[in-house]
Amino acid sequence: MHLGATLRLLRVDAGLSLRDLARRIGVSSAYLSRVENGLDAVPTPERLAAIARELDVPPLLLMDISHRVSPFVASYLEQEPGAGSLFLDIARRRLSGTQLARLRELLDSEFPVRAATGREEPAPALAPLLAPERMVLRLTCAALDDALDVAAGRFGPACPRLGAAQVMAELKRREKDASSAVGSGVMVPHAFVAETPPMATLVTLAEPLQAETPDGSPLRLLIVLIGEERGRMRLMRLAHMARLASRGLAERLLDAQHPQQVIERLAEMEALR
């Protein structure tokens, strides 16, 4: 997973320049540029938390994408060393997403968290934005523009006042600001469309597309998002999609044969938000 690409994507959508964000978190713009381009190590959890605060997204989202342990978890393990063996036991049992969600429900029921240490605000889910008619499975195409054109056309029935050409133009305009490829074979093209509720098209590719990606992995999955959503909610949604990518979303969906399979697998992964 390429955390830097996601940081750049969120920074650009937040309307912050590289210099602005670097100044706010107390680092040089050269350092932040190296992080965004994958030339420097993943920032420490403390620095990731500072970046998250400036982007106004929950720190846990960035921790998850980078596979960093939150300072809260590290502190807890120092206070309660026995918790480490429980984490290890869960790993040994190789619980699925559905099983982990059941375990979370039990914990919430038996041991509710105190308000002062409550769970962070969950990012908005992807599944509710999808519909069977906006899923294109195992598409065969020769270029990224072909896949985007197909995805743009699937928004037509839900927003008849928009033409596919207009949606495509908006997606390409946004893409010029910063690539929406987040790594692990996933790309999240998106565009602001006034007076349109957020909605998504999901496209899996029969053959990987060779395109410029932050980690060199060919594209295998596109999640195309349009709507009037802006600000914090939009950033959280994009970060959540990057988190799903880091958890193997492309691999989970590539062999799906029909939309219901996509929804079921996506729901399993999103249960762990």
Give exposure, 42-72, as e/b (b: 16+ Cβ within 10 Å): bbebebbbbbbebbebbbbbbbbbbebebee
Q: What is the DSSP string of 93-108?
A: HT--HHHHHHHHHHHH
The pLDDT assigned to 175 comes to 93
The pLDDT assigned to 22 comes to 96
Ranked by mean pLDDT, which of 12-16, 36-40, 119-123 comes out on top?
Answer: 12-16
Domain annotation for the chain: domains and CATH numbers = 127-270 (3.40.930.10)
What secondary structure letter does DSSP report for 116?
Answer: G
Query: What would the mean pLDDT of 194-219 be, rounded to a whole number?
Result: 93
- Reading the block at residue 173, the tokens are 């305009």
Query: What would the mean pLDDT of 3-14 be, rounded to a whole number?
Result: 95
> Which of the pair, 240 or 268, is modelled with greater confidence?
240
Per-residue pLDDT at 119 exceeds 80: no
Torsion of CA 230, 233, 237, 243, to 10 degrees: 130
pTM equals: 0.85
Helices 29-36 and 3-13, packing angle to 10 deg: 120
Strands 186-187 and 181-183: antiparallel
What secondary structure letter does DSSP report for 174?
Answer: H
Whole-angstrom Cα distance, residue 190 to residue 127? Answer: 16
Listed in sequence order, the residues at least 6 apart from 234 whose beta carbon sits closer than 8 Å to its beta carbon are 13, 190
Per-residue pLDDT at 116 exceeds 50: no
Query: What would the mean pLDDT of 147-158 be, rounded to a whole number?
Result: 91
Of the listed ranges 121-130, 222-231, 236-245, 256-265, the one predicted with least confidence: 121-130
The pLDDT assigned to 110 comes to 85
Of the listed ranges 3-7, 114-118, 142-146, 198-202, the one predicted with least confidence: 114-118
User: pLDDT of 38-90, one tens digit each?
Assistant: 898 889 989 999 999 999 999 888 988 887 766 667 667 777 877 778 877 88
Per-residue pLDDT at 3 exceeds 60: yes
* Residues 257 and 137: beta-carbon distance below 8 Å: yes
Helices 3-13 and 59-66, packing angle to 10 deg: 150
User: pLDDT of 157-202, one tens digit each?
Assistant: 887 777 888 899 999 999 999 999 999 999 999 999 888 899 999 9
